[in-house]
Structure 1
Amino acid sequence: MHLRKPSGRRWRHDPRKAFLLAGLFLALVGGRPATAADRPHYHDIPARRWDVRDLPGSGEVPGREAERSREYDRRWRIVHDLVGDAHVSRKGQDILRGRGLGPALLDGRTLAEGDKAVDGQDTLRVLIVRVSFTTNRDSQLTTIAPDGDFDFSVPEDPGFLVIDPPPHDKAFYEAHLQGLSEYYRFQSGGRLHIEGRVLPEDPRGSYKLTDVADYGPGANGFWTLESLERLVRDMITAADQGTLADGSARLADYDDDDPFTYIIFVHAGSDWQSDINGDSPNDIPTFFVTLGEPQPLTSTDSETALAGSLRECSIIPETTNQDGFP
């Protein structure tokens, strides 16, 4: 069984794109690039090379891909303009400022040859929280299934789903976290280490919100900043209460008082930016946000026993590909 949009078309994963985890504080590894001597030695790893000309209907692919790229870019700009300055990480800016990077480089200071931001290794703790919905009463408007959950099917013939096929369970996201950690370890010359967790612990679990249609704009509308903020705050609250109930973690241990923590909410379904055909208008946009006022948490910090609050997080989808665009 494949995930399908209301029209019945299969979702097809883009074989050239890795799973995107937005905004992982590239500022932490600022400074001089790692030299060849800094980098660990790796043997050549065989890789499968993808070429759109090898795909079925390849004669039409370049034109369709150009169309997809233009529409995808247009949609990202719309979301970027909607979120505005809220898409900038204050924690990331503070780290840059403290290390003389980012805007600090515009103060007239000239970097001397051999200057670097920091020595040693930073550890970024990343928490991926899976969120789904109790139901989806308007399933014709989104790629989210009527039951509101993730895709746990096991396709007999993966086809285009050879990259990132379902089931999209806990192990699926743990594998991506491992790959993410290896990528940044290599690119930073060992100066950025990522420790990650995926919650809930249940392999097919997720923290539940009400019907997704309670948040969406309906058939003739578009997401507003207010509706997205309500969705984010409800995701934070559901995760905060859910982790306290199951004892898996304290969201306050990943909140605003630690600059080296990052929370990503992964929701069921695809995202609005990827709806190239425009036939699932209530898909949730992908975005990073800094809330104007932090969301209070019920959980307390395990070290300070103080109540937590969360201002920054990313909202990303179960999959970023749909409409059959390779």
Structure 2
Amino acid sequence: VKFSLSRNWIFFFSCFLLSITSAETSGELRICALMVSFQEDNKESTTGNGKFLSAVEGIDCGLYHIDPPPHDRAYFYSQLKAVNNYFQSVSYGQFGVDISQSDIYPLASTSYELLQPMSYYYPYNEENISEDRLVELFKESIETAFITDAIDYSIYDLVIVFHAGIGQDFSLPFLDPTPEDIPSTFVDLDMIKNSTGENGITIGTATIEKGIILPETQNHLNY
């Protein structure tokens, strides 16, 4: 039960697979995962303070704790392995994640810090700009990581942005105390075009046309 985030991954990986041809849904996916945090804040409209959890700040469920912190590179590596195990199982070994050729950045146990607090990237009740802000989060993450670590994105098949905090995925209308949490999102080429006017995000020798935004956890009890 320690892999609740992996179930969320599986859904969005499935969305990714539906976007490519069936001929390509074999082999192993090389993933570039970016850990990003936000400017620290104490807004009640978002979960947490914009930083990755290093210790439980809410209810400690002991042996039954789902997604226990610290949420560092080792934590996300274990989630990648869980996703690989799932796909290898359901595809009878025909598809999975190439763990040896996948990387989690930054290589130190830190994160890339974005320019704004979490609420900026998914402002409440501003649907007309919400998609643009999500693309901005994705693009800024890619660019910040490239500036910091000169990542060669061309050697990967998929970029995943893991952000600090919880995803806006299981809320109920009018009953959500943190409406500015960021939803898990499959960023496709249409979103990028509509937001930036460009055919992908060109950086270094690579042009990135799709990717995924996911939270560090969905376990609200940690906070």
Q: Which category describes the TM-score, using the shorter chain as reference length?
A: 0.7 to 0.9
Matches within 5 A, 1:231-246: 231-246=134-149
Deviation at 1:154, TM superposition (A): 5.5
Q: Aligned residue for 2:187?
A: 289
Q: Which has the higher helix share?
A: 2
1:158 to 42, 49, 60: 60
In 1, distance between residues paired with 2:137 and 2:3? 33
Matched, 1:95 2:84: no
Q: Aligned residue for 1:315?
A: 213
Gaps of 5+ in 2: 194-198
In 1, distance between residues paired with 2:218 and 2:121? 20
1:199 to 94, 105, 108: 105
Deviation at 1:170, TM superposition (A): 0.7
Deviation at 1:236, TM superposition (A): 2.2
Deviation at 1:177, TM superposition (A): 0.9
Matched, 1:208 2:110: no
For the 8 Å contact 2:166–2:182, the answer to whether it is kept is yes
Which secondary structure does the structure 1 equivalent of 2:136 belong to?
A: helix
Which secondary structure does the structure 2 equivalent of 1:163 belong to?
A: coil
In 1, distance between residues paired with 2:145 and 2:5? 29
Q: Aligned residue for 1:66?
A: none
Deviation at 1:225, TM superposition (A): 5.7
Q: Aligned residue for 1:37?
A: none
Q: Aligned residue for 1:3?
A: none
Which secondary structure does the structure 1 equivalent of 2:85 belong to?
A: helix
Q: Aligned residue for 1:149?
A: 51
In 2, distance between residues paired with 1:126 and 1:95? 18
Deviation at 1:268, TM superposition (A): 0.9
Q: Aligned residue for 2:170?
A: 274
In 1, distance between residues paired with 2:56 and 2:154? 36
Deviation at 1:323, TM superposition (A): 6.7
Q: What is the letter of the counterpart of residue 96 of structure 2?
A: H
In 2, distance between residues paired with 1:16 and 1:129? 19
In 2, distance between residues paired with 1:320 and 1:134? 20
Deviation at 1:251, TM superposition (A): 2.4
Matched, 1:250 2:148: no
The alignment-based identity, stated in percent, is 24
In 1, distance between residues paired with 2:180 and 2:188? 22
1:129 to 25, 28, 34: 34
In 2, distance between residues paired with 1:284 and 1:172? 20
2:123 to 211, 217, 237: 217
- 4+ long deviations beyond 6 Å: none
In 1, distance between residues paired with 2:12 and 2:76? 17
Q: Aligned residue for 1:183?
A: 86
For the 8 Å contact 1:143–1:269, the answer to whether it is kept is yes
In 2, distance between residues paired with 1:281 and 1:154? 22
Cα deviations across residues 115-154 of structure 1 (Å, max 9, x unaligned)? xxx9xx61211222111112235x2111031xx2111115
Q: Which has the larger radius of gyration?
A: 1
For the 8 Å contact 1:240–1:251, the answer to whether it is kept is no
Deviation at 1:298, TM superposition (A): 2.6
For the 8 Å contact 2:169–2:184, the answer to whether it is kept is yes
Gaps of 5+ in 1: 1-13, 26-87, 100-117, 255-260, 301-307
For the 8 Å contact 1:149–1:268, the answer to whether it is kept is yes
How many equivalent pairs are there? 207
For the 8 Å contact 1:152–1:167, the answer to whether it is kept is yes
Q: What is the letter of the counterpart of residue 61 of structure 2?
A: G
